[in-house]
Structure 1
Amino acid sequence: MPHATSGDVLLVGRYLKAVEALQAQGRRVVNVVTPGDLGRLRHVPRSDLVVVGDMTSPEDVLSGLAREGHRLDSFDAVLSMREFSVVCAGVLAELGRVCGMPVHTAVALRDKYVQKRLVRAAGLPTADSRVADRAADLLDEQEAAPSFPLVLKPLAGAGSRDTHLTHTAADLATLLPTLGTGPWLAEEFVPGRELHMDGIVREGRIVFFSVSRYLDNVIDIKHGGVVGSVALHPGAHAALHAEARELATGALAALGLRDGIFHLEAFEQPDGLVFSECGGRVGGGAVRECVKAGLGIDLLDEWARAVLDLPAGTPRQSAQSYGWIHLTGPADGPLRVPDRAELLARPGCADAGIDHRPGDGPLPEPSRSSNIRLGWALMTGADEDEVARRLREVFDWFRTACSSAPLVDA
């Protein structure tokens, strides 16, 4: 990806913290957003916004730019930090011949079949998979498909939404009436603990790197699993860090991601790590906060520095361990939501946030997606076991506190 050297940046998709990271490097940012985003952007000058119906559509964005009097080649870079608009941003960058993610890389980061095919061709272990134009095709004995148990997911989804583990053909047949039209990715189920790796790559070399282990594998949200992870300190896990870095380096090269940010997942197996999937964005949850606390660098700040070809920061590895967790309420909806001060008073809580606001409707069922939450907590401790224990304790405390008072209060 050519580097942006001066001038304005077009950011596709609302992501205020990415805007702030670019502005901190002296850039004016024009943000492509949807009408539904405007309520949260009242403080942003209207001249710095382009409002479109669909931020994933190059046609919509090009039309919006024309309405506002912008030309693509007037920008120095076209970027996105949103999962669903990264391909659109890549198309626009290539069309305008400006700095941005190459289209082939953006597609590889979004389409999980293309992604796994490229990673497998590079000689890296990953799940066997195939595309089913219709989910029902997987029941056709004439069709070659991974054997059960298999995971069924959208080709370009996010947040484990519409991701299902099926153990038998009967399970799949029961699931079919609830599924959308497709196409779908069907892949073999890979057991083992799930890791995520987060970092920055510059000119094909990983310059910042963090490895974390999920408290529960993400797919386990379907059965009550929690969403959160504990960062694995490199001093205590030197061999695993080296293996994870080798896997990430090979996968990023296969996908063509040479400059920017990544969030990559893998499974631990007795004979090594198995690649799961990779995104060209900051990790969800409190990954950014966790990496900042443990490694001393801000992933979004370093992303901005990488795409703008500015000097990288200096990491400062903490001796403490850190982890984060999503906080949810009781199934019948919270009567009261604890505030941030109450969370910060819990043992080991280093940071926290409350997403729920007075007047918000009921929280969707957390089993639907890994990004459904009322709030989050970042916990610290002397070692990973203490952090994991504190994460589960604060999760249980929060759920109890949500249901213990009769008034809505956030």
Structure 2
Amino acid sequence: MPQDQPSALIVGTDPYAMRACLRNGITPYVVHGPHLADWGYLKLPDGAVGIFAEDPTSIESVLLALRRTGAADRSFRFLQTSDEEALVTVAALARVLDLPTAVAADIAPNFRDKWLQKRAVAAAGLDVGASQAIEDIHHLDPSALADFDKAVLKPIAGAGTRNTSVVRGLSELIDTCAEYRRRGVPQRTFVLEEFTPGEEWMADGVVFDGELRFLSVGTYAEPCLTAVDANRVLQLERFDPTEDADAFALARPVVTEALRALGLRRGVFHMELFRRPDTGGLVFGECAARTGGGLISEAVAFKFGVDLGEAAIRCAEGIEPTIEPTVRPESVSTLFLANRPGVLVGYPSLEQIRALPGVEHVRLDLPYGFRTGDTVQDTTQGVGQVMLSGRTREEVRSRREFLTRWFDERLVVVPAHATYPELRSWQRANWPETASDFRTYAEPERQR
């Protein structure tokens, strides 16, 4: 490829950032790890250049990969990532390579370390639950912790509610830390956060020159941790800026002040907030300097006509993104399609799902033969994801309930932990023509 061809260095396989680059005549050089080949679901688009790095979250691994492939000699226009775990790496890498990027190296830790993050937001005077850092759960010192009744234990730099638990008191905390150690949970440094009841909201948007340029607000059908603890998948709704003007008015100042406290000057963000059931006020939860998952990019594009991937690459280069929202009147919701414990062997086709009322977008992520454990591990688990629309929020919810039930009725999963007799009964119920009982040759099975 010619050296004068505009190019950008992208760490992580964000399809929205890659698409935005290609639409703007920029060749994305995509640093990816083993998961691209191991998982086999996402393919690099035509025009993108792949660079394999054993660990894209390691600056050493990325620099070595750039040197091996000769990409280190290219003049990239900017460096960008939407990979939560690579954020600090990319911020440091931008300094080494002298490339513009959205999140500066002195700011990036505020968006990865949840204890640092809450300390910064609390110092700005916002409502934030108390938190305590636990440096090493393998060597917990209970005497160093303040008393608490109910708290949330999570990796200090985690994502997706993975390895996150509600603990009630010190005794349960000690037991949970011991269980994590037995399970071989890779993280050692955790944060213990005050449990905040109430609705969980999300705020997604764009900041440039320290000013909030776009804001979308939504809510989860139930809080993320509640869903994971109950082995349920996530369901999300977008608020309407006119119909739900009060929600936007409540969220905007909190989001603005939180981002200012965290130091984000430009970039996209995904923020979690909780609405107190007693006062109705918003409590800061956490914030990531990236686009949100769960088809949030699709929902924002559908509802507002705003491409968050486009905004992300523009902010990375230091160019103000052109954001001209066009709000559609329809309500929109996204959801994960739930799986069941066992081996996945069948589900409805894309065409069948698309034919259902209100389905705007669908993707099926899990292949046949995938084995699902007994519990939901994080907020990203599901057979696939769907975006629904409707004339009203009530219609969207009705369609969401119907789709959830309809899909589950057609989901075929070999049950986990079943005995041979139970498996035979299951096979007979699902494929009666294939089931066979033990027979002798006493009587011919067919007439000759």
**Unmatched segments (≥5 aa) in structure 1:** 1-5
CA distance in structure 1 between the partners assigned to 2:127 and 2:74 by the alignment? 41
Distance 1:326 1:81, change over 3 A: same
Mean CA deviation greater in 315-324 or 16-25: 16-25
Tell me, what secondary structure is at the counterpart of 2:85?
helix
Deviates more, 1:174-183 or 1:28-37: 174-183
The AA in structure 2 aligned to 1:260 is: G
Aligned to 2:261: 254
Secondary structure of 1:94's match? helix
Q: 5+ unaligned residues in a row in structure 2: which ranges?
A: 414-428, 432-448
Query: Bigger CA drift: 380-389 or 118-127?
Result: 380-389
**Aligned 8 A contact 1:348 1:379 in 2:** yes
Matched, 1:307 2:328: no
**2:84: which partner in 1?**
83
| 1:369-384 aligned within 5 A | 369-384=378-393
Per the alignment, in what secondary structure is the counterpart of residue 65 of structure 1? helix
1:206 aligns with 2:212: yes
Q: Alpha-carbon deviation of 1:98?
A: 1.6
Does residue 395 (structure 1) correspond to residue 394 (structure 2)? The answer is no
Identity of aligned residues (%): 29
Task: Give me the TM-score of the superposition, normalised by structure 1.
Answer: 0.91
CA-to-partner distance for each residue in 1:329-366, whole Å, 9 max, x for gaps? 222343311111111222222221111224x4213455
Which residue in the other structure is 2:75 paired with? 74
Matched residue SS, 2:159: coil
- CA deviations over 1:13-66 (Å, ceiling 9, x no partner): 1223311112212212111112342454476579x2221111011011111111
Correspondences of 1:4-403 after superposition (within 5 Å): 7-38=6-37, 39=40, 40-41=42-43, 48-71=49-72, 74-100=75-101, 101-135=103-137, 140=142, 142-145=143-146, 147-179=148-180, 180=185, 182-220=188-226, 221-269=228-276, 270-308=279-317, 309=319, 311-358=321-368, 360-365=369-374, 367-403=376-412
In structure 1, C-alpha distance between the alignment counterparts of 2:201 and 2:254, rounded to whole Å: 12
In 2: Cα distance, 1:94 partner to 1:156 partner: 22
Q: Secondary structure at the match of 1:32?
A: strand
Structure 2 residue matching 1:343: 3-state secondary structure: helix
2:140 and 2:174 in contact (8 A); partners too: no
1:388 Cα offset (Å)? 2.4
State the alpha-carbon separation in 2 of the partners of residues 290 and 77 from structure 1. Answer: 27
Cα distance between partner residues in 2 of 1:202 and 1:406? 56
Shift in CA distance, 64/321, structure 1 to aligned 2, threshold 3 Å: same
Task: Tell me if the contact between 2:131 and 2:191 (Cα under 8 Å) persists in the aligned partners.
Answer: yes
Q: Distance in 1 between matches of 2:13 and 2:51?
A: 10
Query: TM-score, normalised on structure 2?
Result: 0.83
Structure 2 residue identity aligned to 1:368 = Q
Deviation at 1:73, TM superposition (A): 7.6
Q: Is the 8 A contact 2:44 2:50 kept in 1?
A: no
CA contact (8 A) 2:362 2:386 kept: yes
Change in Cα spacing, 1:292 to 1:373, as seen in structure 2 (3 Å) is: same
CA RMSD, aligned part only? 2.3
Query: How far is the alpha carbon of 1:116 from its aligned partner?
Result: 0.7
Distance 1:99 1:232, change over 3 A: same
